[in-house]
Amino acid sequence: MSGKLIPASGVAVIDEGHHALCLHIEDIVRHWKLGSEDGVMETLVQAFRTAAMRHFEEEIQLLTEAGAATDRHCRAHRDLIDEIDTQLTETRHHSGRNRWFALVDTLERILYEHEIEEDSRYYGLLSAPSAP
């Protein structure tokens, strides 16, 4: 992901999910650089979206089990998925290779910002030892 590092949460399922999302983005970037056809690019972005939704569900389940208020975080997840959908729709309505670059740039930015600004708030709660 352009050299951006997402800090580890200390919770395996969260860290694995973040890593998987980064791998999806790397795959999208690789295909963009190779000049893959629009159908391939859209399939890859949809796979990223599906993986993000799955990861978000796991994350909310863990936060709920830890007793965290999740309304704000769920809203942040919905906003992120909405932004992916908006960018994908806009990409469909434009032509040229650079439209995919703009989408990839957006995917990287929103994932990185979400993990740094939103998820990191919960790392202490999720990695705290449970009471006996």
pTM of structure: 0.84
Degrees, nearest 5: CA angle 40-52-36: 15
CA neighbours within 13 Å on the CB side: how many for 86?
Answer: 8
Quick one: angle between helices 98-113 and 38-65, nearest 10? 10
Cα–Cα dist 87/91, whole Å? 6
Question: What ranges do the domains of the chain cover?
Answer: 12-123
Quick one: angle between helices 12-34 and 98-113, nearest 10? 170
C-alpha distances (whole Å) from 27 to each of 14, 30, 83 are 20, 5, 20
Single-letter code of the amino acid located at 39 = G
12-123: CATH topology:
Four Helix Bundle (Hemerythrin (Met), subunit A) (1.20.120)
DSSP assignment letter at 42: H
pLDDT at 57: 93
Task: Write the pLDDT tens digit of every residue in 28-38.
Answer: 999 999 999 99
Task: Write the pLDDT tens digit of every residue in 62-114.
Answer: 888 888 878 888 898 999 999 999 999 988 888 777 788 888 888 888 888 88
Q: Is residue 32 within 8 Å of residue 107, measured between CB atoms?
A: no
Residue written as token pair 């998987």:
20
